[in-house]
A and B are shown apart, each in its own frame.
Chain A
């Protein structure tokens, strides 16, 4: 069975884009701060629309924000 692994660069991008807080990012993309925390820590995989919103907020392609690695176990 394939095991999925989604990593992200949100934390780094937040600091590179004027050190915006998790709350500010959450407000911009229309979610709660808890969701941003969960995404950043890899505990929650966002939906595609939310992933695109986050990427567009930083002005980068989605692949720059999220990386997907599949491992066969």
Chain B
């Protein structure tokens, strides 16, 4: 497993842990603690765990004097970025159009939605990017010894 794979795997694990804990927290706050839905959304505070992704380049440092990223890795990364941004546009379009279609043209939403949307987009990008990197390396053989 190379450095790019390790970083992608680490980021994916961090995002999945954050999403799982957030979902559990929101469910507990809403169904067990009986908080109103707005209060229950406080459970999304667990998404702060995603900040750990910033540690991945430090945890998996480049080895000196050894090639760790070449043209194939560059191509895989390029494709992953392309897919991630394509998914981002789909999510972004849905995030803009669904509230509009539900609330209607004369409705209004809180401006708090904007930073949440931005955060959601960031997480979506990282999630898809990491997933596509792992899928591409996996699909292109197990890189087994010969």
Q: Chain A: residues with CB nearer than 8 A to chain B?
A: 11, 22, 26-27, 30-35, 37-38, 40-41, 43-44, 46-47, 50
Q: Chain B: residues with CB nearer than 8 A to chain A?
A: 2, 67-73, 137, 140-141, 143-144, 146
Looking across the interface, which residue of chain A has its beta carbon closest to that of B141?
A43
Is the beta-carbon distance between A31 and B70 smaller than 8 angstroms?
A: yes
Interface of A is mostly: helix
Looking across the interface, which residue of chain A has its beta carbon closest to that of B69?
A32
Is the beta-carbon distance between B143 and A27 smaller than 8 angstroms?
A: no
Contact for A41 among B2, B67, B137, B141, CB less than 8 A: B141
Q: Which residues of B contact A44 (CB under 8 A)?
A: 72, 140
Is the beta-carbon distance between B146 and A38 smaller than 8 angstroms?
A: no
**Min CB gap A63→B, angstroms:** 21
Is the beta-carbon distance between B70 and A30 smaller than 8 angstroms?
A: yes
Given A34-B2, A34-B143, A38-B140, answer yes or no on A50-B67 (Cβ-Cβ < 8 Å). Answer: no
CA distance A35 to B4 in the complex (A): 13
Looking across the interface, which residue of chain B has its beta carbon closest to that of A44?
B72
Q: Which residues of A contact B71 (CB under 8 A)?
A: 31, 35, 46-47, 50
Looking across the interface, which residue of chain A has its beta carbon closest to that of B65?
A27
Is the beta-carbon distance between B70 and A35 smaller than 8 angstroms?
A: yes
Is the beta-carbon distance between B72 and A38 smaller than 8 angstroms?
A: yes
Contact for B141 among A11, A33, A38, CB less than 8 A: A38
Contact for A37 among B69, B70, B141, CB less than 8 A: B141
CA distance A46 to B73 in the complex (A): 12
**Min CB gap A9→B, angstroms:** 14
In the complex, besides A26-B67, A37-B143, 16 extra interface pairs with C-beta distance below 8 angstroms are A30-B67, A32-B67, A32-B68, A32-B73, A34-B2, A34-B72, A34-B137, A35-B70, A35-B71, A35-B72, A35-B73, A38-B72, A38-B140, A38-B143, A44-B140, A50-B71
Q: Which residues of B contact A30 (CB under 8 A)?
A: 67, 70
